[in-house]
Structure formats: structure tokens, C-alpha cells
Amino acid sequence: MKTGPSEPRSTVLTEAEEAMAVAFRRHTLLPLDDCLYALQPSIPHLTRSALHQCLQRRGISRLPDVEGDKPEQSKFKRYPIGFFHIDIAEVQTAEGKLYLFVGIDRTSKFAVTQLVDKADRKTAWEFLQHMLEAVPYQVHTILTDNGIQFAEQPRNRNTIYSRPMR
């Protein structure tokens, strides 16, 4: 007779925190320690062991091989430090849908994350504020996909969340 839980799960992380870690890893393909460093501000009790076990349970603890698996890709243009790319990932949990904002510097790979209940203009603006406070150097460029959270729309003009944020 088998003992223990019916399904493996974390004793450290909530289901939402696990989903956040998995979405971040899939989205960024950063190594374990880089994921840990980027996620710890959002999940302070996250340990290296808990993150590794979480990624193992989901089958993404190993990054894909660099050589052989993929066709050779062209190199990105070099950017000065402070060029951030911001994206949003949808995270599915048993309780429902959450959104993960991710900001990554193209040069240093410094990453900032924030998990929110809804992805709208207000939460995007709050994430930008959070990111600018968290980054230890000057941010000079922010690249987005111009999704509805970031695009200038007539209904948002002359509000606190209008385009001239910075």
C-alpha cells in the first residue's frame, strides 16, 4: 500500500507561487539560480531546493540543449545596459487565472517579476513603478509588445495612467 500524498506537491510554495515559477522559467529559459534570484523578491520564502523540486515535478528542471536541438539563430544586436523588455504571461491555477509581468534587461539579464490578479493599464503602470524602483541602475529604454495594457487609447488620455508616464 502506497503512503504519502496522492499527488506530489510543495510544502513550501502555494499553487499560485508554483505556477508563477513555472511560467517564469518557461518564459525566460533562465538557469535555476537566475530564476531563484529573480523570483525571490516576489516569493521571499522561495528556496533553491523548493524551486528545483517544483521545476522537476513539472518536467522543466533541465534547460534544452544549446547545440543540436535548434537551428542556429542570429545574434541579437548589442544594447547598452538599461534596455528592458517587458512581457506578460498568463498563469493558470486551480483558483483561476493570474498574470505574471516580467521585465528583463537585454544586456545584464536582470529580471523583475510581479504576479497580479488582472493585467490592465493600472497594474502595468504599477509594475513599471515597481521595476524602476527595483533596478539598481538607470533604465533608459522599455520595450513592450504594445498590448492593451501599454498602448495609448483615447479613453486613457489625461488620466494618471496615460502614456507620458516617464
Q: What is the dihedral of CA 148, 109, 111, 21, to 10 degrees?
A: 100
CA distance 157 to 41: 32
479613453: which residue's cell?
155
Does residue 10 fall inside a structural domain? Answer: no
In sequence order, the β-bridge partners of residue 162 are none
Percent of the chain at pLDDT exceeding 90: 29
**13 closest CA partner among 23, 21, 1:** 21
pTM of this prediction exceeds 0.75: no
Within a domain: 161? no
Q: What share of the chain is helix, strand, coil (3-state, %, to 5)?
A: 30, 20, 50
Q: What confidence score (pLDDT) does residue 50 get?
A: 92
**Residue 155 pLDDT:** 61
State how many domains the chain has. Answer: 1
* Average pLDDT of span 51-59: 90
User: Residue 11 — pLDDT band, cuts 50, 70, 90?
Assistant: confident
DSSP annotation string for 40-96: TTTSTT--HHHHHHHHHHTT-SSPPPSSSSSPPPPPPPP--TTEEEEEEEEEEETTE
pLDDT at 165 over 50: no
> What integer best gives the mean pLDDT of the chain?
81
CATH number at residue 146: 3.30.420
**142 is a domain residue:** yes
Q: Is the pLDDT of residue 161 over 80?
A: no
Structural domain contains residue 119: yes
Residue 69: inside a domain: no
For 137-148, the pLDDT digits (tens) are 999 988 887 677
Cell numbers for 75 = 545574434
Condensed to tens digits (0 to 9), the pLDDT of residues 124-134 reads 889 999 999 99
Range of the domain at 146: 15-63+82-156
